Structure 1
């Protein structure tokens, strides 16, 4: 299995555990010491309903980005670091609610190799 596929499976599992639904598609690219993941089809039916109003859209966005940035480092850091064989230094994450596309950039201490 390619390293990206295994990485994507960890991401899918984490998101499913965290939000009750994993992304429908994930594409990850490794560049130097970064894993850049685009995630499509993230929102639950409830989140889609809430996001129909501007205020709801802001709530879903805030919850999604803050939870991801808080939960990954505290609960899934070891799993990611073990798989990547490198320390996770930073995580940046954002979601575009209208298109239901998220991006996460994981920055590791060492250059990523296969």
Structure 2
């Protein structure tokens, strides 16, 4: 893993730990043209696992996590992300599969970010 990918993953991990009280256990990121595609594993907190024990609870955790991430990035880009990538972040698309405890985020930057 390159230093740039490692630093990018750490920005994501810190942000999610600060937001949810637990960061992902593992992150895999690839840079493709102007996209950073991150797959995050081990995201769910013990409380969320308990709540997600029912269909309605899983839906609630999914909606809350998705909305919180979208809202946070809409307010401000995480500290250091645009500087590291040397590009402005235009959009974030994010989703989580509660049952698999796996999330995917696609970051769209204004220009090519490939190494």
- Please report the TM-score for the alignment, with normalisation by the length of structure 1: 0.95
Q: CA deviation at 1:77?
A: 4.1
The equivalences for 1:16-95 within 5 A come to: 16-95=17-96
Matched length: 114
Give the whole-Å Cα distance in 2 for the aligned partners of 1:71 and 1:35.
Answer: 18
Q: Name 2:14's counterpart in structure 1.
A: 13
- The answer for unaligned runs of 5 or more in structure 2 is none
Q: CA deviation at 1:73?
A: 3.3
- The answer for unaligned runs of 5 or more in structure 1 is none
User: CA-atom RMSD, angstroms?
Assistant: 1.2
Q: Decide whether the 8 Å contact of 2:15 with 2:78 is kept in 1.
A: no
Q: Decide whether the 8 Å contact of 2:11 with 2:78 is kept in 1.
A: no
Q: CA deviation at 1:78?
A: 5.0
Q: CA deviation at 1:85?
A: 1.0
Deviations 1:57-85 (A, max 9, x none): 01100011111111023233453212211
Report the 3-state secondary structure (helix = DSSP H, G, I; strand = E; otherwise coil) of the residue aligned with 1:12.
Answer: helix
Q: Decide whether the 8 Å contact of 1:12 with 1:22 is kept in 2.
A: yes
Give the whole-Å Cα distance in 2 for the aligned partners of 1:56 and 1:102.
Answer: 17
